[in-house]
């Protein structure tokens, strides 16, 4: 059974001006997501700036999110690392904190062979009992989970049950779907490829767009799964300019600004990420307004 079906938000982590985690804004944003129909909260992923959180902050953000959500939707905790032992530690602690599932990215910088990926993910999975979503994002990590590797893991490790596919390679996803024959759930990791991946049997999306358009992203998936392909496609195509704007600089720079513009947090980032360029902010604001998103300043 799928961890979730629909649109899960890869939620941002708001910071105060002094760089500390802004838990008040975090709570408000989580509540907004649930109110608008988000099907799952994915905490401490790429969009949540997990790479610049301390281990203590990382785990506290997971605990906080689990507490606020209070079982209303599944909470998926990002616990990946390029160090297998660190990923095991974070995964075990996330399980103790009450997370419903884990999102585990491929090792970055030191990378790994396909044999190494199998060993890495197997060791993490065997350290916990929670279901695990593999996270394939070679543009960031420099290593690609081949379809054959994902299928091997799903067939040999009981709690490896899904993959977030952010390779951008639809042909690879099609091959994965064909080889898997249903043994692994597939989630789109790219907001501009939701409908194509659903057409290949995907279960939904782990979404940046959902941070500012949770209802529309949920509706896009729900309509498709209910058979309203045209309705779903209409949302996908209408969202394309906003998707482009949300990735006009490296994620999560634009989405942190976008979330602050709808009233949740300051938009502050941790270095080495820096504030969005003025021209890109103008592009982002226009795309948000054109999509029908109301900015806090206009409310």
**2: helix, strand or coil:** coil
For residue 103, give Cα distances in angstroms to 8, 25, 106, 240, 297: 12, 23, 10, 26, 35
> d(Cα 163, Cα 154) in Å, to the nearest integer?
9
What is the token pair recorded at 55? 């281990």
Beta strands in the chain (DSSP E): 6-10, 40-43, 75-78, 101-105, 132-136, 160-165, 185-188, 204-207
Instruction: Catalytic residue, from 135, 187, 224, 264: name it.
Output: 135
- Of the candidates 198, 190, 195, the one whose C-alpha atom is nearest the C-alpha of residue 233 is 195
Angle at 187 between CA 208 and CA 276, to 5 degrees: 15
230 is catalytic: no
Respond yes or no: is residue 135 known to be catalytic: yes
Rg (CA), the chain: 18
Q: What is the DSSP string of 182-225?
A: TSSEEEES-GGGHHHHHHTT--EEEESGGGT-HHHHHHHHHHHH
Residue 66 and residue 71: Cα distance in Å, rounded? 7
Select which of 23, 71, 164, 230 is catalytic: 164
| Active site (catalytic) residues | 135, 164
């Amino acid at each position: 059974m799928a961890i979730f079906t629909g649109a899960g938000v890869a939620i941002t982590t708001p910071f105060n001006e002094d760089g500390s985690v802004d838990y008040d804004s975090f709570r408000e944003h989580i509540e907004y997501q649930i109110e608008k129909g988000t099907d799952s909260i994915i905490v401490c992923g790429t969009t949540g700036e997990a790479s610049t959180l301390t281990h203590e902050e990382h785990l506290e953000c997971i605990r906080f999110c689990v507490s606020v959500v209070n079982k209303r939707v599944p909470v998926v905790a990002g616990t990946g690392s390029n160090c297998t032992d660190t990923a095991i530690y974070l995964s075990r602690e996330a399980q103790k904190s009450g997370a419903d599932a884990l999102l585990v990215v491929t090792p970055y910088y030191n990378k790994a062979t396909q044999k190494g990926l199998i060993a890495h993910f197997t060791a993490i999975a065997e350290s916990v009992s929670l279901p695990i979503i593999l996270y394939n994002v070679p543009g960031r990590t420099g290593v690609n989970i081949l379809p054959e590797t994902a299928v091997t893991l799903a067939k040999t490790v009981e709690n490896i049950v899904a993959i977030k596919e952010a390779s951008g390679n639809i042909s690879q996803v099609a091959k994965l779907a064909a080889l898997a024959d249903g043994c692994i759930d597939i989630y789109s990791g790219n907001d501009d490829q939701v409908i194509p991946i659903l057409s290949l049997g995907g279960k939904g999306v782990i979404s940046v767009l959902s941070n500012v358009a949770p209802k529309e992203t949920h509706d896009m998936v729900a309509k498709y799964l209910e058979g309203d392909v045209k309705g779903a496609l209409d949302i996908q195509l209408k969202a394309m300019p906003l998707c482009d704007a949300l990735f006009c600089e490296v994620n999560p720079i634009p989405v942190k600004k976008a979330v602050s513009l709808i009233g949740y947090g300051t938009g502050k980032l941790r270095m080495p990420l820096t504030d969005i360029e003025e021209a890109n902010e103008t592009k982002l604001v226009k795309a948000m307004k054109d999509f029908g998103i109301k900015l806090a300043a206009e409310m």
